[in-house]
């Protein structure tokens, strides 16, 4: 079974660290190593002691080395884990546990294509549950077909029906591809198997938040925080949920906790800024973003910085920020939607047309790429084309209030009669 999970918390007190490695005459270092029932640090010492002593066969040595690699991985020493698995494979290239372990070690180092290859090689030898799970995960993470990724995970679950890691991974993939109800079901199934699964609680909280079920989402994330009060992303997610519940002052507190635990990431600063906007403290919201160090400024940061500036009617500065965001993430349709919106405010309709169309191309399910394209076309006196884009926006579930905005733009562009007729259709 796969020992590696997405969230691992190890607590070692002083007395435990001082405990003798072997406490019973019936135990050996090898037996204790393979049992894998201790802290990673102690397991590393147990496995190394077993490897250093005793008359070991090649298969016994490989077993101990695999366990040693797993312990290094759980300890967070991904490079050492990789070295351990590779040393096994030098002697036994078809060792499936070592190939699977290597896959996880490479994934932990963001070497996704190499990880995929390791799992694929293992799959071709022996498609056991942990190999299927890894292959499914890496297929998705390297941009492969989500349906194929899910099939591999389903294969792992077919081999081991209560494989909570694979079930939970399906939940994350379902969420990423927008199948929120399926994601909710997967996370709930994982929690049925292990009610203390922090990652499943976190995943379920995010999905419930996406679905607008914020009260239950708050309960789930509170449980995750209680299980690991030092994990920054739980506080970030709780901050987002609290904002959705209109509890912005509390959201600021959790955002500050996120910053304390994760100062080198933009997430906490963005959450704080958005909560301050909810408290009508726009100046403080801008100040919260100004303090972010350059190395933490990613596309997500620049997007929200642009949003706050636009809310403050600083459109020229907002345009610069969204350009930074698009440069870092050119395939993110939200950046192009934001740039189209800002361009409309600056009455640069050609620019709005370009980025509205690009947003629609990148994600045809988002109404706002079509809507901003339609608005730009109105001001460019291309009314027939504008109506085509508006129809596409409505088909993509455009907010009804936006029809009134479009009518207002028609009037502003000199099309009063068309604005009146518009309401006969919508």
pLDDT digits (tens, 9 = 90+) for 122-143: 999 999 999 999 999 999 999 9
In a domain, 308, yes or no: no
Residue 301 lies in a domain: no
pLDDT-wise least confident of 54-58, 377-381, 385-389, 418-422: 54-58
pLDDT in tens, 334-371: 999 999 999 999 999 999 999 999 999 999 999 999 99
CA distances from 376 to 224, 310, 357, 372 (A): 46, 18, 10, 6
Taking the model in full, what pTM does it have?
A: 0.82
Cβ neighbours of residue 423 closer than 8 Å, sequence gap 6 or more:
403, 407
Q: CA 121 to CA 132: how far, in whole Å?
A: 11
pLDDT band at 101 (very low <50, low <70, confident <90, very high): very high
Q: Identify the domain boundary among 108, 138, 161.
A: 161
pLDDT value, residue 9: 36
Which residues touch 283 (CB under 8 Å, ≥6 apart)?
none
Tokens representing residue 33 in the block: 């190593």
Looking at residues 412-419, what average pLDDT do you find?
A: 94
Residue 312 located in a structural domain: no
Position 197 scores a pLDDT of 94
- Is 316 inside a domain boundary? no
Categorize the per-residue pLDDT at 180 as very low, low, confident or very high, splitting at 50, 70 and 90: very high
Q: pLDDT, tens digit, for every residue of 268-297? A: 999 999 999 999 999 999 999 988 888 889
Residue 365 belongs to domain spanning = 331-426
Percent of the chain with pLDDT over 70: 93
pLDDT at 11: 32
In a domain? residue 342:
yes
Query: What integer pLDDT is reported at residue 59 of this predicted model?
Result: 80
pLDDT the model gives residue 26: 41
pLDDT at 48 (0 to 100): 81
pLDDT above 90 covers a percentage of the chain that reads 77
Nearest to 2 by CA among 120, 195, 167: 167
User: Tell me, what's the pLDDT at 7?
Assistant: 36
118-148: b (≥16 Cβ within 10 Å) or e: bbbbbbeeeebbbbbbbbbbbbbbeeeebee
Are the C-beta atoms of residues 250 and 242 closer than 8 Å to each other?
yes
pLDDT at position 343? 98
> What pLDDT is recorded for position 313?
96
Find where tokens 């395939």 sit.
Answer: 331
Number of domains in the chain: 2
Residue 21, pLDDT above cutoff 60: no
Q: Is the pLDDT of residue 216 over 80?
A: yes
350: Cβ–Cβ under 8 A, 6 or more apart, which residues?
Answer: 376, 380
Query: Which of 128, 146, 161 is the C-terminal boundary of a domain?
Result: 161
Residue 238 lies in a domain: no
| Confidence band of 29 (pLDDT split at 50, 70, 90) | low
Based on the number of CB atoms within 10 Å of its own CB, is 229 exposed (0-12), middle (13-18) or buried (19 or more)? exposed
Does residue 131 belong to any structural domain of this protein? yes
- 240 within domain boundaries: no
Residue 4, pLDDT above cutoff 70:
no
Whole-angstrom distance, CA of residue 122 vs CA of residue 101: 10
Q: What is the pLDDT of residue 135?
A: 96
Low-confidence winner among 58-72, 332-346, 378-392 (lowest mean pLDDT): 58-72
Asked which of 110, 138, 161 is the last residue of a domain, the reply is 161
Q: Tokens 């796969």, residue?
A: 2
Dig out the tokens for 272 from the structure: 């704080």
């Amino acid at each position: 079974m796969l020992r590696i999970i997405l969230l691992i918390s190890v607590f070692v007190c002083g007395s435990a660290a001082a405990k003798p490695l072997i406490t019973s005459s019936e135990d050996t270092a090898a037996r204790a190593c393979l049992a894998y029932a201790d802290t990673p640090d102690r397991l590393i010492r147990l496995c190394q002691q077993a490897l250093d002593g005793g008359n070991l066969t090649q298969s016994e040595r490989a077993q101990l080395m695999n366990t040693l690699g797993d312990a290094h991985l759980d300890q967070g020493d991904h490079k050492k884990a990789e070295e351990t698995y590779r040393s096994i494979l030098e002697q036994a290239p078809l060792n499936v546990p070592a190939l699977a372990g290597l896959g996880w070690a490479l994934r932990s180092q963001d070497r996704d294509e190499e990880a995929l290859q390791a799992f694929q090689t293992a799959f071709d030898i022996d498609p056991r549950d942990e190999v299927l799970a890894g292959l499914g995960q890496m297929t998705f993470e390297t941009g492969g077909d989500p349906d194929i990724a899910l099939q591999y995970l389903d294969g792992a679950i077919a081999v081991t029906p209560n494989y909570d890691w694979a079930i939970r991974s399906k939940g994350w993939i379902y969420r990423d591809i927008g199948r929120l109800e399926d994601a909710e079901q997967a996370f709930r199934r994982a929690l049925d198997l292990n009610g203390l699964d922090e990652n499943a609680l976190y995943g379920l909280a995010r999905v419930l938040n996406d679905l607008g079920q914020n009260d239950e989402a708050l309960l789930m994330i509170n449980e995750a925080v209680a299980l690991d009060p030092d994990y920054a992303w739980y506080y970030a997610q709780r901050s987002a949920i609290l904002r959705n519940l209109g509890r912005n002052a509390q959201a600021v507190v959790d955002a500050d906790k996120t910053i304390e635990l994760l100062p080198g990431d933009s997430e906490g600063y963005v959450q704080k800024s958005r909560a301050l906007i909810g408290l009508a403290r726009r100046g403080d919201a801008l100040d919260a973003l100004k303090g972010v160090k350059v190395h933490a400024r990613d596309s997500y940061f620049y997007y929200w910085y642009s949003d706050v500036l636009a809310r403050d009617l600083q459109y020229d500065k907002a345009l610069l920020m969204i350009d930074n965001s698009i440069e870092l993430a050119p395939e993110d349709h939200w950046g192009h939607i934001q740039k189209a919106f800002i361009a409309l405010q600056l009455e640069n309709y050609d620019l709005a047309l370009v980025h509205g169309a690009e947003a629609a191309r990148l994600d045809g399910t988002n109404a706002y790429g079509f809507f901003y394209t339609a608005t730009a076309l109105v001001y460019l006196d291309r009314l027939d084309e504008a109506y085509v884009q508006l129809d596409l926006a409505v088909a993509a579930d455009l907010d009804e209030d936006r029809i009134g905005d479009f009518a207002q733009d028609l009037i502003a562009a000199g099309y009063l009669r068309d604005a009146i007729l518009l309401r006969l259709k919508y």
